[in-house]
A and B are shown apart, each in its own frame.
Chain A
Amino acid sequence: MTRITQDMDIASMLAALRQADGYYITNTARDMSQSDYKNRILLHTDLMAAPTREAAGYFSLEITGGASVHVDILRKQVDPFLKLDLLRQAMPKTMFQTLCRGLNLFGYRPYPANVIRFTVREFAKYVDVWRTFDFLNHVPNMQAVLEEVGKAGKINEPCICFSTGPEHTDAYYVAKVGEILAVTGEDITLCIKNHGGLGTPRRIGELVNAIKQAYPDLIIHYHGHNTDGNDVGRITEAVLNGAKIVDASDHAFTGYYGPPAVLTVIQTLKDHGKTAVGIDEAAVIAASDAIRDQRPHYAQFESQIKGFQPTVQIHKLPGGAMGSSLEQAAKGGFLDKMPDILHKELPKVQEELGNFWSVTPGSQILWTTAVSNVQHGRYESPSGDLKNLLLGKYGPFPFYQPADWIYEKVFGEDWRKVLAEQGGAEAISDMDIEQERKTLAERLGYEPTEQQLVIYLQHPNDAVNFYKFEAEFGRAYVLPPSIFLRQGGFALGETMTFRDHFGKEHLLEVGPVQKTEDGHTNVYLNVDHHERVYVFEPVKPAGAAPAAAKLSKEEIAELAKAGDFRAPFAANVSAVSVKAGQEVAAGDQLLVLEAMKMQTPVVAEATGVVAVVSVKVGQSLQPGDKLVKVDVKE
């Protein structure tokens, strides 16, 4: 019975996995953070847990990928590569695992092949196990990643995304596994990606068994979520039917939508005579003990709604999207409509749109469409991403194409023509990476590293903001959540100690806060026994700005007809496609807006000439803000 460690070669690892009588465990800390804490668990906490997690003897620690790369720079202000480097130093033996969205990498839309390969190469320096999926189970969408991981000598773990319904048969999935193995060969670990925690234990047991019957030597890694509270049941059946690796995480932080507790899995399977290979139970407990007192600092990110949600079997939202969906509903003021959205509209939309897998970015498309359908009428205001889905830009529908009436609703009477002309996956041409490097150098004011370039290629504006944050505020990962995530400020006289990135210990004491007559705020801090003062500009009280006259949806539509394009909703500008002076025809794309991870193009409604472009890429907009003015030709 061997523990698998990072320094082993792949052949002996796979051999150990195949020979194991018991099973191995992946600690999916990243998925727990994403599903139950809106991705906010800080590197500080992961570093606290590092020695005991290392001692626990996991097959791997899933600590990067998914939305976490983006959230690292956007909300946690930590360099995703520095994070891996520091964790590697603290955990030399444990393999690190990522979750990669195939063509979409760690983002929400497809990247050019050269960007995908460059990104995989840089991350593969730290990441040992690459779990890769595509929300349509369209294997070609994963190909570039699979190839590059193979070249880097790391473990490929392609996924079959799992869901339920009449089309989701064993025969379908076994065939899909065959498609994958045709690309990768059998020296992989195959993941059953049950991102919603769907199906009963028995259903999962059957599926594992079916795959094992077809491919007896294939190593199966079962990934699930505990949304309905029953993932330990599914894990048990998976292992009893031959899965060799399963996912769980530290009980001190387990919640409702992420992984179940490692210890529960161990205890349950022990009763079935199955041993967790390489696992030190005492260390598993110690890891939770090491970070338990940190959890209250993350309470603000835990779900608004407490309790397991067995209705996930109806709405099928993935664990990773549960928290953010509820948050959106609360912020958008439609929490009361949630039962309708989740239990009626969402299942309906799923069926109508082809019963594909509700996982990024498909889950966002399903969710926004359902919300929009309830709020604005069914398919009345389709998002750009829904249009792309219907046009087959993401890949072919796995089971059936949505009904004609949906196409007609979304694209109008001429939908067949639109589909014929624009349908099908678009070849994405390579990006001029050297040109991007120059642009980044200009924006940063210095020559970027390869790692900075990788992050920039995926999230240009957020990457630049992060590197500027780092220059201004230092390496903030050293701050514990009690400081970094503190709400309501600190107490007068409160002291805090931390060790900076360079190993120097510091002591801060909070002094008085002074408001000046002109509205500035002086914050006095005693920093390593030296008094310092930090001056902050007056903050405009909310609502103090003259409220812009709000335009109704109808007014915005009327203005657009006259060539005066306004933002229809709060959004960021993700692309500007026209310049002043340019001629445009009806249907030409003027610019693209992005809101809640979804892209929506704004298109010209009649022939004309662009008079003014009022926005820049990256700009954030309020509903009614001016976008583009087109002088419409009569």
Chain B
Amino acid sequence: MKTKILVANRGEIAIRIIRAIQELNYEAVAIYETPDRDSMHIRSADEAVWIGHGPRCDYLNIDKVIAAAQKSGATAIHPGYGFLAENADFARACEKAGIIFIGPPSDVIDNLGNKVTARRIMAEAGIPMVPGTQNLKAGDEGVQEAVEFGKQYGYPIMLKATAGGGGRGIRKIEQEKDLKDHYAMARAEAKAAFGDDSVYLEKAVVKPKHIEVQIIADKSGTTIHLGTRDCSIQRRNQKLVEIAPAFQLTPEQQEAISQTAVKAAKAAGYFNAGTVEFLFDNGKFYFMEINTRLQVEHTVSEMITGIDVVRTQIKLAMGKDLSIKQEDIHLRGHAVEMRINAEDPKNNFMPEGGKTVRVYRSPGGYGVRLDGFCYQGFTIPQVYDSLLVKLTVFGWSWNETVDRLRRSLNNFVIIGPKTTIPFYLNLINDPDFKAGKFDTSFLETHEHLFNYEEDSSEVNKLAKLIAEIHCKGGNAYAA
């Protein structure tokens, strides 16, 4: 019987993982909640297990996922990103059930998932960090600690939930008098969102670049990196566009930051694939966190290195060691990933869930990669995230890459939901983007990117009228 691997996720990332599993000649088992019953990931898998009505709660239910693996005879689980991916309890439950968890061991997830522990480990290893505190005390004592920190390092400062992540649970404090109000709210929110009201402080780095490094480690302690990624273009701390390598950094800076990432991973006793995130500002970089999972944007690192990160993850989890060394890794060209979301950028990126994709046509050709789960007739569930498809484009030079992006975006035909495509088309025509000048404040400082019209050509307007005359059997505007 073939080895079976259960994919504890949904949407595009489930399909990405299923592809790697099937390429390795294993069988892929999908799980799904009721709202996902028409999802493409079920059709791609070799078999699928229904785990409940959801929404979301069953994908987050450790017992149900383990039970699905046992029921289907899967011997390994890939958690993807989100849901249970960085849940140490889940990794432990797999370990206990004798199922291979494709990712780092539970104690590593624990250590790196706790921001304060992670900072301690990194501080001991000599990794540069943004000045910050341990967990603050509750109540007025905590506020007092914060006031003193602010006096020492200056404002703005960031109040962060210790158990938060992925850009959630962060508050920016501009001045001392705001601390008291925000402190209580931040703790209450952290409690509600993450079940833990611990918070800590960091000095805010204003308008930094978000630079991260893909690392891979095997059980024998070999740790390599796949170069840098620039994920500075974000909205509300959520990434939209990712670029590899972070080409605005000098080769020396890229090398330094990559080596630091490897050092950090080793200090954490890291195994499998992970991402070390840094803030980069004026030539200096500060450790932010290690994401103990496969990331959405792993595709850009794959494109410039030729390494299949997910395939490697599975092989490492199955006990193999890395067959390549750092010197075998060569970074070639440029890759950009754009998240085609069913969202209305003009309306604060409001999700367009519930809408049906009436027409779906996607680009192809040289240097174009698509990781998606969208098809014509698919109704986007309202209860999950709005990512439809990731467009990853590879090019030899930056100019070529941007040209290819433009062509690929123009080749998409998605009718039904509004998408981020017109916004991206505006983005890639922006002179600052073309010149590679962007940091995390890019969207705030480039508001004109939101000024686009869906299709303002005269012929499209007239064709719309003709289509309406055709559809209604007469011209309502001439009646």
Contacts and interface: CB of A to CB of B under 8 A. Distances in A.
A554 B126 CA distance: 91
A475 B465 CA distance: 10
Given A77-B478, A488-B473, A522 B359 contact: yes
B348 interface: no
Interface string A445-475: 0000000000000000000000001001111
Interface residues of A, number: 46
B177 interface: no
Given A486-B469, A525-B467, A534-B468, A75 B477 contact: yes
A559 interface: no
Given A520-B358, A533-B358, A485 B463 contact: no
A536 B460 contact: no
Given A508-B466, A516-B358, A525-B466, A486 B474 contact: yes
Contact of A535 (B415, B469, B475): B415
Contact of B461 (A472, A520, A536): A472
Interface residues of B, number: 28
Interface string A488-510: 11100000101011101010101
B471 interface: yes
B459 interface: yes
B478 A75 contact: yes
Contacts of A488: 473-474
Contacts of B471: 489, 513, 521, 523, 534, 536
Given A476-B465, A535-B415, A484 B359 contact: no
A532 B358 contact: no
B464 interface: yes
Contacts of B413: 531, 533
Contact of A520 (B356, B477, B479): B356
A534 B464 contact: yes
Contact of A508 (B377, B461, B463): B463
Contacts of B377: 516
A522 B459 CA distance: 18
B475 A485 contact: yes
Best-buried of B470, B473, B475 by chain A (most CB within 10 Å): B470
B169 interface: no
B235 to A, nearest CB: 26
A484 B475 contact: yes
Contact of A500 (B458, B470, B472): B458
A483 B477 CA distance: 13
A472 B469 contact: no
B462 interface: yes
Interface string A531-557: 111111001000000000000000000
A86 B359 CA distance: 39
Best-buried of B358, B464, B467 by chain A (most CB within 10 Å): B467
Contacts of B381: none
B478 A484 contact: yes
B208 interface: no
B359 A506 contact: no
A79 to B, nearest CB: 14
A535 B416 contact: yes
A76 interface: yes
Contacts of B462: 473-474, 476, 478-479, 498, 500, 506
Best-buried of B464, B465, B466 by chain A (most CB within 10 Å): B466
B463 A534 contact: yes
Interface in B353-409: 356, 358-359, 377
A487 interface: yes
A361 B471 CA distance: 37
A208 B479 CA distance: 41
Contacts of A476: 462, 465, 477
Contact of B465 (A474, A520, A522): A474
B458 A486 contact: no
Nearest to B465: A473
A503 to B, nearest CB: 10
Contacts of A536: 467-468, 471-472
B467 A502 contact: no
Contacts, number: 109
A489 B458 contact: no
A528 interface: yes
Nearest to B377: A516
Interface in B439-466: 458-466
Given A501-B458, A504-B458, A522-B359, A532 B478 contact: no
A518 interface: yes
A485 B478 contact: yes
A300 to B, nearest CB: 9
A498 B466 CA distance: 12
Given A487-B473, A523-B470, A539-B472, A75 B479 contact: yes
Contacts of A77: 477-478
Contacts of A93: none
Given A75-B479, A77-B477, A483 B466 contact: yes
A500 B463 CA distance: 11
A476 B465 CA distance: 8
A490 B356 contact: no
Given A473-B464, A473-B465, A534-B468, A504 B459 contact: yes
Contacts of A513: 470-471
A492 to B, nearest CB: 10
Interface in A116-155: none
Interface in B415-440: 415-416
Nearest to B461: A474
A489 B464 CA distance: 14
A437 interface: no
Contacts of B460: 527, 532
B459 A487 contact: no
A40 interface: yes
Nearest to A518: B356
Contacts of B458: 474-475, 500-502, 504
Best-buried of A472, A487, A489, A534 by chain B (most CB within 10 Å): A534
A527 B474 CA distance: 20
A485 B472 CA distance: 12
Given A485-B475, A522-B358, A472 B470 contact: no
Contacts of A531: 413
A508 B461 CA distance: 13
Nearest to A491: B470
Nearest to A71: B478
A469 B477 contact: yes
Contacts of B415: 522, 533, 535
Contacts of B467: 523, 525, 534, 536
Contact of B478 (A40, A521, A527, A528): A40
B185 to A, nearest CB: 38
Nearest to A472: B461
Nearest to A469: B477
B459 A527 contact: yes
Contacts of B416: 535
Nearest to B455: A532
B359 A486 contact: no
Contacts of B474: 486-488
Nearest to B416: A535
A628 B413 CA distance: 49
A510 to B, nearest CB: 6
A532 B463 contact: yes
A602 B466 CA distance: 41
B414 to A, nearest CB: 10
Interface of B: 356, 358-359, 377, 413, 415-416, 458-475, 477-479
Given A476-B465, A489-B470, 5 more contacts: A484-B475, A486-B474, A525-B467, A533-B413, A535-B415
Top 7 A-B residue pairs of the complex, sorted by shortest distance between their CB atoms: A474-B461, A534-B467, A523-B467, A473-B465, A500-B458, A489-B470, A533-B359
17 contacts: A77-B478, A473-B464, A475-B458, A476-B477, A479-B465, A483-B469, A486-B470, A487-B473, A500-B458, A500-B462, A501-B458, A504-B458, A513-B471, A518-B356, A535-B415, A536-B471, A539-B472
